[in-house]
Structure 1
């Protein structure tokens, strides 16, 4: 099955660095654009509560990745590609002091990919 969220090698390397510093148990949540723009934020599992209005898109580097259900409804036709850029990260995200920041890119699913994942997407939004 096509993955709804993937990571570049640079993002996977930064995840490993954060795991070495903070431990293996991390999580991501795609920010809805408030304080940190629309960014993938990395947290310790105790830093953010995941609830019924969040959708697990998958895992990157073995770390679960979530997005708010309302935001997901807008982005459901896209694959999120988590990358890294130079600069200061979000104030809430663990990489904030590394001089790098997670960056979310996206691409539309092909018609074939959409046909494959649409049943799961509709289930997530129910």
Structure 2
């Protein structure tokens, strides 16, 4: 019997094993299950949101640590603008800019595909 499905029953004394017949083949795993396995709990939107919030909090903590460790000032030149700002802030601005560009391209592609699907339905 599997360790995971073994139940403790202290009311009966153990029976002697001398009278048990000897079998040539071991019992299969299906025979060992004494009760059916309960179904898994379905995934919900709230559980997905909770997972997303946890991931966002971990990401923000890592970002804060990164920004606190990279406070050295750097020179930044962009087109006609010049200035100096902390390295972490410069990298953060570059990351946000990249995210905006990637999101815009993705939204344009999704809009294009939706229009194509609507045109094929009609």
| TM-score calculated relative to the size of structure 2 | 0.22
Bigger CA radius of gyration: 2
- Structure (1 or 2) with the greater strand fraction: 1
TM-score, structure 1 length as denominator? 0.21
Considering Cα pairs closer than 8 Å and 6+ residues apart, tell me whether 1 or 2 has the greater RCO. 1
